[in-house]
Structure 1
């Protein structure tokens, strides 16, 4: 029987993305959300920037979320559980897609009410090593009225795009090719929490 990780790898191979509900246990979701809340209260989050190196800058007309990078060398027990599950996905994608994925980097991402991130690609000139985007949503509940969708623009063979809107439902995992699928976070009417990360072909 195909494992969840194998299913994700197959879908990424066939259509460049995969969506899996309840990827993590409810207990792990709640623990990660609680950790995020405590870190936020401790003032650890920073306004997200765009660009890399000398070109890195905060531009709130492009994105106005807040982030906190997770130190992969010093994971707590909940982060370790999540990293372990992502590593199973990494291995499955390598077996199916031959991408040579070696490592994972991620940050907590918090979108306060009214915040957004305009259309972009996760892989650009300075970060060509980002091959696969991996997002896990941590919200307690979400409804259509809360908005804040992840909107993906799926390239079609005729050159057009198909729009796919994904609710940031707690426990939902979204995986896609970083260099191929433009996407944006639509303005949210409720605080929106995730761990957003990238599988990379560098150590």
Structure 2
């Protein structure tokens, strides 16, 4: 099957729209219209054209503690790599953002990993942290949404919680919206939606490699 590759003009994404002061002060930021909708649509079309064999059941944990548990998490994922042209376009965009974050906030972010996520109708991801202090090199989480014409009634919100369990944000997964937050601070969950929901979730990381292995098992 031939899949059209989105040619993302790097000027089409808006690092200038990111409030780095808010990210530094609050630990998270929500950026509507981070990428022009025409490019979001190309990425959305690409995700929809992938076959069942291109996806895997998402799991929880890492390395030897990795397991699947559909009572906790029900999405399917595809890890992005630079060998696939459509995926390279997105990775290049996020590499530029990594450099910008390091310039603005001196975070020392070293690299980036990410995957497409597909939540079929009714699928969810229960409350969780993306990293635990001292046990992972994941520093900054990014979630980018691809869903055109998404409405409140479609559900599928990302819920971000505060340290006392209070709801800080309920984020509608609208095309072009980027969410960035500290990976080891904010408990969050994905609510069940009424439609197929696509996003790209990623993590900027510090270099805590051991013997050439990035983010080794602890």
TM normalised by structure 1 equals 0.87
Structure 1 gap ranges (5+): none
Matches within 5 A, 1:88-167: 88-124=96-132, 128-155=136-163, 159=164, 161-167=166-172
Q: Is 1:30 aligned to 2:37, yes or no?
A: no
Count of matched residue pairs: 195
Report the Cα distance in structure 2 between the residues aligned to 1:147 and 1:162, rounded to whole angstroms.
Answer: 16
8 Å Cα contact 2:102-2:109 kept in structure 1: yes
Aligned to 1:47: 57
Matches within 5 A, 1:68-87: 68-72=78-82, 74-76=83-85, 78-87=86-95
Alignment CA distance shift 1:28-1:6 (3 Å): closer
Report the Cα distance in structure 2 between the residues aligned to 1:88 and 1:71, rounded to whole angstroms.
Answer: 16
8 Å Cα contact 1:6-1:89 kept in structure 2: no
Aligned to 1:17: 28
Report the Cα distance in structure 1 between the residues aligned to 2:134 and 2:117, rounded to whole angstroms.
Answer: 21
Q: What are the Cα deviations for residues 107-154 of structure 1, in whole angstroms up to 9, with x where unaligned?
A: 000000000000001113796111111111001221111111000002
Q: Is 1:201 aligned to 2:206, yes or no?
A: yes
From 183, 189, 199, the counterpart of 1:178: 183
Aligned-CA RMSD value:
2.0
Alignment CA distance shift 1:121-1:83 (3 Å): same
Report the Cα distance in structure 2 between the residues aligned to 1:52 and 1:185, rounded to whole angstroms.
Answer: 20
Alignment CA distance shift 1:60-1:160 (3 Å): closer
In structure 1, the residue corresponding to 2:107 is in which secondary structure?
coil
In structure 1, the residue corresponding to 2:162 is in which secondary structure?
strand
Which structure would you say has the larger RCO, counting Cα contacts within 8 Å and 6 or more residues apart? 1
TM normalised by structure 2 equals 0.82
Report the Cα distance in structure 1 between the residues aligned to 2:168 and 2:146, rounded to whole angstroms.
Answer: 24
Q: Which runs of 4+ in 1 moved over 6 A?
A: none
- Shift of residue 165, structure 1, vs aligned partner: 0.3
Bigger CA drift: 78-87 or 141-150?
78-87
From 180, 189, 196, the counterpart of 1:191: 196
Structure 2 gap ranges (5+): 1-13, 208-213
Report the Cα distance in structure 1 between the residues aligned to 2:129 and 2:148, rounded to whole angstroms.
Answer: 28
- Shift of residue 5, structure 1, vs aligned partner: 4.6
